[in-house]
DNA sequence: CGTCCAGAAGCGACAAAATCGCATTAAGGT
DNA sequence: ACCTTAATGCGATTTTGTCGCTTCTGGACG
């Protein structure tokens, strides 16, 4: 999942990884992310710098791994009794966490040292899992639900776009607005148009042109 | 616009900047972005490394500047006679350029070495300008038009989110689908709900918690 | 048109980092 | 208990990044 080869999941490798991650977390607190260096992390973690260079390549990839860990949601979305309430609450919390200075920093780090997109994909998967949990509960209640993809396009994507690309401040009202629009779309557009709002179903495994 | 101080827009500074940018573009072609180093760029550009370190800080910020330049749209969106056609065409081209391997690389670079978000904001401004141009023409034709913010949230944001966070391939059909949904929303939702789909109007100047 | 001045680049010494080969350790399987 | 091999440790070497100082030059001002 995290570092490059990780062919040996247990024992010393695991200890080294944990110790290095812990060192990063501590040092980010103490000296700030900009002052971090690989040798510094190595010393704190009690390993030699070459170990870090070999396993992570450079500081960015290491920071990316740590960032993804911190972006993993700790708790399931709250159950407030209705799809609308659950989504509102989840979106507000999501926006809060992501738009905070540290959240922004983690997102940037996660994207930054991630040549193959694995870590970024993991972030997106976290959000999708949370949304799925909310939707699954709504289905059990018998509520009509939109597709996960619709919510990602209409709620998650705009939030992330604004965080990454725009200097605009975000507040909870914006999150609720996005949820409102998404649910409105689901309610009215379902069947109203031939094509759905969700994702293009992949056909091949190869991205790109 | 691009480098840090740029207090002196003309003369030698300008020549150095252009020469360095050109060196980056050439070397990216020749040796690939991963193999780039500051000393290498300096040699090719005919300047000393310390000049680059002083003006750009590090390779990432330099690459970010170059990336933003390349992400600037060269042409105005085509006029195909209707809002729908113009938006379809623009969105398809936008997706094409951004989702291509080099487009993805530029986006990442632009975000990467951009501590204060200036370059990212510039990218977002480019897209907004293009959309505004399309909308302005539609207004002249007498067509009803959605707000720019709606199109950014509904078309630009989902595309960028998928490019940055998801391994899914994107195609022109997806771009058209997003446009369809956005126009549908504009047509039906206008006045149907108390709150509009557009941006939260800022109240204070301070982001964040 | 000449002079001055501050910002910017050049240069070189130094400090810090990243890389690499080789020796050593220890998981995980047999 | 042994064997294989990934993973780490260590140190020499190369490369990159920093810093103080000097030199150059664009632009303003007289």
Could you report the per-residue pLDDT of A120-167, keeping only the tens digit for each?
999 999 999 999 999 999 999 999 999 999 999 999 999 999 999 999
Residue B61's pLDDT band (cuts 50, 70, 90):
very high
Residue ranges of domains in chain A: 11-70, 83-186
A chain contacts of residue B161, beta-carbon cutoff 8 Å: 124, 152-153, 156-157, 160-161
Residue-wise over B129-157: b if at least 16 C-beta within 10 A, else e?
A: ebbebbbebbeeeeeebbbbbbbbbbbbb
CATH number of B11-70: 1.10.10.60
User: Chain A within 8 Å of B156 (Cβ-Cβ)?
Assistant: yes
Per-residue pLDDT averaged across B96-110, rounded? 96
CB atoms within 10 A of CB B85: 14
Task: State the pLDDT confidence band at A11, using cuts at 50, 70 and 90.
Answer: confident
Average pLDDT over residues A51-61: 97
Which residues of chain A make contact with B177, given a CB cutoff of 8 A? Answer: 195, 197, 200
Q: What angle do CA B178, B149, A117 make, to 5 degrees?
A: 55
Cβ separation B156–A161 shorter than 8 A: yes
Query: Which of A191-195, B36-40, B114-118, B171-175 shows the lowest mean pLDDT across its residues?
Result: A191-195
Give A134's contacts (C-beta < 8 A, 6+ positions apart): A77, A83, A86, A87, A90
Q: Which of A132, A160, A157 minimizes the C-alpha distance to A146?
A: A132
**Hey, of A37, A129, A158, A205, which one would you mutate to test binding to chain B, going by the most B CBs within 10 A of its CB?**
A158
Query: How many angstroms separate the CA atoms of A71 and B98, rounded?
Result: 26
Q: How many CB atoms lie within 10 A of CB A30?
A: 11
- A67-123, pLDDT tens digit by residue? 999 999 999 999 999 999 999 999 999 999 999 999 999 999 999 999 899 999 999
- pLDDT above 90: residue A43: yes
Name which of B123, B166, B205 is nearest A165 (Cβ-Cβ): B123
Classify domain A83-186 by CATH number: 1.10.357.10
> CA B123, CA B108: separation in Å to the nearest integer?
11
User: Who wins on pLDDT, A207 or B11?
Assistant: B11
pLDDT confidence bin for B13, thresholds 50/70/90: confident
Lowest mean pLDDT among A18-27, A178-187, B97-106: A178-187
Task: Give yes or no for a contact between A176 and A91, defined as CB atoms under 8 angstroms apart.
Answer: yes
Give pLDDT, residue A7: 55
């Amino acid at each position: 999942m995290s570092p490059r080869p990780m062919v040996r999941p247990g024992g010393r490798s695991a200890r080294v990884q944990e110790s290095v991650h812990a060192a990063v977390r501590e040092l980010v607190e103490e000296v700030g992310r900009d002052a971090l260096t690989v040798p510094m992390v190595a010393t704190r973690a009690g390993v030699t710098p070459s170990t870090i260079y070999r396993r992570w390549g450079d500081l960015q990839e290491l920071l990316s791994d740590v960032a993804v860990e911190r972006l993993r949601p700790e708790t399931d979305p709250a159950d407030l009794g209705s799809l609308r309430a659950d989504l509102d609450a989840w979106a507000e919390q999501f926006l809060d966490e992501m738009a905070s200075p540290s959240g922004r920093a983690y997102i940037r780090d996660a994207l930054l040292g991630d040549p193959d997109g694995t870590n970024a994909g993991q972030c997106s998967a976290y959000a999708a899992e949370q949304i799925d949990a909310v939707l699954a509960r709504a289905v059990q209640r018998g509520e009509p639900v939109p597709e996960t993809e619709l919510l990602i396009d209409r709620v998650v994507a705009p939030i992330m776009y604004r965080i990454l690309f725009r200097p605009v401040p975000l507040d909870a009202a914006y999150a609720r607005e996005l949820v409102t629009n998404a649910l409105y779309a689901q309610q009215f557009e379902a069947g109203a148009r031939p094509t759905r709002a969700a994702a293009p179903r992949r056909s091949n495994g190869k991205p790109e042109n």
